[in-house]
C-alpha cells in the first residue's frame, strides 16, 4: 500500500473510532440519565418461597438466587410484585389458601423488617410515593386461582390483605379456568370463572392471563371491563412454548389496553433452549424430585441441593445471550405497540436458567443499555420499564372506583 493510501486509511479508521466512541459515551449518558429517572416495575418474581421456606433475608446480599435488597438497589428496581405460589402439585385447594396466607405474611414481615429500604404498596400512587422516599415498593400477586378455592370471599380476603393481581391458573387448571399446560376442562373460562373475573374488576385486582390456555385468554377478554395483564409471558413467534403469547393474542391484549410483561426465563426466549429442556425434562424432573423430597423436611439443605441440580443443567443447556431477551421486547413492541409491554422477570422462579448477562436483578441496567442500542427513545424505554405497568394499574383502579355501587359476586346468589 502506498504511503498516501495508508495515511488515508488510518484517517478513516480513526474517524470511525472517534464516532463510535462518541455514540458510546452518548449512550452511556443516556443510560445514566435513565437509571436516575426511570421507574422500573417488575410484575413477577418467586422469591417469596425462599423467604418463607428458607428464612431468606432480603436485607443480605446472597451469592445465590436472584433478588435481595442490595442487588435490587444495584439494579435500580422501583417496584417488585412478589408472587404467592399455590404449589398445586402438592397441596389441596384449601391447603393452597393457607399456604397463600403464610406466603403473604412472610413477604409483609420482610417489609416490616427492612423499613429503611422497603415499603408495602397496593396502588400505582403508592409506587410513585415509595420512589420519592427512595424506597422499593413491594406488592403482591397471587399466582394461580387455586389459592381462592373457587370462593370469591377468599378472593376478597386476599384483596383486603393487599394482593393486587391474580393469575387465573398455574400449570394446572382451576375448576373454573383452563391452563395452557393442562388438558382442557372448562373449555376456557367457566361461568364461575367469568364471575370471578368480574369480581376482580369490581375489587380493582388485575386479571393476569399468564399461564392460562388460549381459549381462557379470549374468554377473559370478552368478560373483563378493565385492561388485563400477562405478568410473565413472552412471544410465541420467537419461541413456541404454550406459556408464550401468539401475535394474535398480543394484538388482542393491546386492543384491551393491557400489558404483556416479558418473562426472562431462557426456556421461553430461545427455541433451541426450549427444545433441549423438553428433551432433558424427565431426567431433570427426577433429579429435582429427589431434592424436593428433601426440601419438604429440610428446606435449607433441599434448597441447596435444588440449586446444585440447577447449576448442573445450566452447564449442560445452551447459553442464551441477552440479545434473545431484547428480541422478545422488540417483537412484542412491534406487534402490540410501545404502550403494551413491560417487565415480568420471573426471577427466582426459573431454576436459575436466565440469559447470560441477566443472571439476577442487579443486571437490569443491561436491559436498558440494550434498549438504547436498539434505537428506542428515552420516553419509550421509560414506558416499557414501568410507566405502562403503572398506567394499567391506574385503569384497573379506575374501573373499581366506577363499580363501587355494584354488589359483591356470590356464585350461590339467586
Ligand atoms: Zn409462573
- DSSP per residue over 286-313, as a string? HHHHHHHHHHHH-HHHHHHHHHHHHHHH
pLDDT of 350: 95
Q: Is pLDDT at 404 greater than 80 in this prediction?
A: yes
Q: Is pLDDT at 2 greater than 90 in this prediction?
A: no
Task: Kindly give the distance from the C-alpha atom of residue 157 to the centroid of ligand 1, in angstroms, as a whole number.
Answer: 22
Q: Is the dihedral of CA 116, 118, 122, 128 positive or negative?
A: positive
pLDDT of 411: 86
Report, as an integer, the average pLDDT of 332-342.
98
Instruction: Name the percent of the chain lying above pLDDT 90.
Output: 86
The 10 Å CB-count burial string (b at 16+, else e) for 134-173 is: ebbbbbbbbbbbbbbbbebebbbebbeebbbbbbbbbebb
Task: Kindly give the distance from the C-alpha atom of residue 58 to the centroid of ligand 1, in angstroms, as a whole number.
Answer: 21
Cell output for 123: 396502588
Are 294 and 302 in contact by the 8 Å Cβ rule? The answer is yes
Angle, CA of 302, 80 and 204, to the nearest 5°: 115
Q: What is the pLDDT of residues 351-394, one digit of tens each?
A: 999 999 999 999 999 999 999 999 999 999 999 999 999 999 99
**pLDDT range class, residue 73, cuts 50, 70, 90:** very high
Closest listed residue to residue 197, CA positions, set 169, 171, 172, 232: 169
Task: Kindly give the distance from the C-alpha atom of residue 286 to the centroid of ligand 1, in angstroms, as a whole number.
Answer: 20
Report, as an integer, the average pLDDT of 222-247.
98
pLDDT of 79: 98
Task: Kindly give the distance from the C-alpha atom of residue 211 to the centroid of ligand 1, in angstroms, as a whole number.
Answer: 7
**pLDDT range class, residue 414, cuts 50, 70, 90:** low
Q: Is pLDDT at 412 greater than 90 in this prediction?
A: no
Task: Kindly give the distance from the C-alpha atom of residue 372 to the centroid of ligand 1, in angstroms, as a whole number.
Answer: 28
Report, as an integer, the average pLDDT of 340-344.
98
**pLDDT range class, residue 45, cuts 50, 70, 90:** very high
Q: Is pLDDT at 15 greater than 80 in this prediction?
A: no
Task: Kindly give the distance from the C-alpha atom of residue 215 to the centroid of ligand 1, in angstroms, as a whole number.
Answer: 18
Are 202 and 177 in contact by the 8 Å Cβ rule? The answer is no
What are the phi and psi torsion angles at 34 (to 5°)? -65, -40
Task: Kindly give the distance from the C-alpha atom of residue 143 to the centroid of ligand 1, in angstroms, as a whole number.
Answer: 7
Task: Kindly give the distance from the C-alpha atom of residue 257 to the centroid of ligand 1, in angstroms, as a whole number.
Answer: 22
Task: Kindly give the distance from the C-alpha atom of residue 119 to the centroid of ligand 1, in angstroms, as a whole number.
Answer: 24
**pLDDT range class, residue 296, cuts 50, 70, 90:** confident
Angle, CA of 104, 139 and 51, to the nearest 5°: 45
- pTM here is 0.93
Task: Kindly give the distance from the C-alpha atom of residue 99 to the centroid of ligand 1, in angstroms, as a whole number.
Answer: 16
pLDDT of 232: 98
* Average pLDDT taken over every residue of the chain: 94
pLDDT of 295: 87
Task: Kindly give the distance from the C-alpha atom of residue 173 to the centroid of ligand 1, in angstroms, as a whole number.
Answer: 13
**pLDDT range class, residue 87, cuts 50, 70, 90:** confident
Report, as an integer, the average pLDDT of 149-176.
97
Report, as an integer, the average pLDDT of 96-112.
96
Amino acid at each position: 500500500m502506498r504511503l498516501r493510501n495508508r495515511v488515508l486509511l488510518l484517517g478513516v479508521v480513526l474517524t470511525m473510532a472517534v464516532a463510535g466512541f462518541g455514540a458510546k459515551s452518548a449512550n452511556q449518558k443516556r443510560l445514566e440519565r435513565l437509571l436516575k429517572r426511570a421507574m422500573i416495575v417488575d410484575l413477577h418474581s418467586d422469591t417469596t418461597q425462599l423467604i418463607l421456606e428458607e428464612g431468606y433475608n432480603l436485607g443480605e446480599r446472597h451469592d445465590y438466587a436472584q433478588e435481595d435488597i442490595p442487588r435490587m438497589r444495584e439494579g435500580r428496581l422501583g417496584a417488585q410484585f412478589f408472587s404467592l405460589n399455590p404449589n398445586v402439585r402438592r397441596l389441596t385447594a384449601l391447603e393452597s389458601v393457607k399456604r397463600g396466607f403464610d406466603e403473604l405474611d412472610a413477604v409483609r414481615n420482610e417489609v416490616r423488617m427492612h423499613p429503611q429500604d422497603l415499603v408495602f404498596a397496593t396502588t400505582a400512587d403508592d409506587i410513585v410515593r415509595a420512589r420519592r422516599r427512595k424506597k422499593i415498593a413491594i406488592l403482591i400477586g397471587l399466582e394461580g386461582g387455586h389459592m381462592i378455592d373457587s370462593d370469591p370471599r377468599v378472593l376478597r380476603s386476599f384483596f383486603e390483605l393487599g394482593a393486587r393481581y391474580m393469575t387465573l391458573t398455574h400449570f394446572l387448571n382451576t375448576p373454573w379456568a383452563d391452563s395452557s399446560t393442562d388438558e382442557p376442562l372448562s373449555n376456557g373460562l367457566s361461568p364461575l370463572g367469568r364471575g370471578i373475573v368480574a369480581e376482580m374488576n369490581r375489587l380493582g385486582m388485575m386479571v393476569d392471563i399468564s399461564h392460562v390456555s388460549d381459549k381462557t385468554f379470549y374468554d377473559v377478554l370478552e368478560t373483563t371491563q378493565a385492561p388485563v395483564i400477562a405478568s410473565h409471558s413472552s412471544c410465541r413467534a420467537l419461541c413456541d412454548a404454550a406459556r408464550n403469547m401468539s401475535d394474535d393474542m398480543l394484538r388482542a391484549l393491546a386492543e384491551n389496553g393491557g400489558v404483556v410483561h416479558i418473562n426472562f426465563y431462557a426456556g421461553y426466549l430461545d427455541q433451541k433452549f426450549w427444545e433441549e429442556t423438553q428433551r432433558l425434562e424427565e431426567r431433570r424432573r427426577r433429579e429435582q424430585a429427589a431434592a424436593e423430597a428433601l426440601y419438604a423436611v429440610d428446606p435449607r439443605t433441599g434448597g441447596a441441593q435444588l440449586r446444585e441440580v440447577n447449576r448442573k443443567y445450566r452447564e449442560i443447556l445452551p447459553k442464551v445471550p441477552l440479545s434473545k431477551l431484547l428480541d422478545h421486547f422488540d417483537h412484542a413492541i412491534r406487534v402490540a405497540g410501545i404502550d403494551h409491554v413491560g417487565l415480568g422477570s420471573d426471577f427466582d422462579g426459573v431454576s436459575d436458567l436466565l440469559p447470560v448477562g441477566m443472571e439476577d436483578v442487579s443486571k437490569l441496567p443491561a436491559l436498558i443499555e440494550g434498549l438504547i442500542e436498539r434505537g428506542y427513545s428515552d420516553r419509550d424505554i421509560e414506558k416499557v420499564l414501568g410507566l405502562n405497568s403503572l398506567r394499567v394499574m391506574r385503569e384497573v383502579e379506575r374501573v373499581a372506583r366506577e363499580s363501587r355501587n355494584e354488589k359483591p359476586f356470590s356464585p350461590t346468589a339467586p
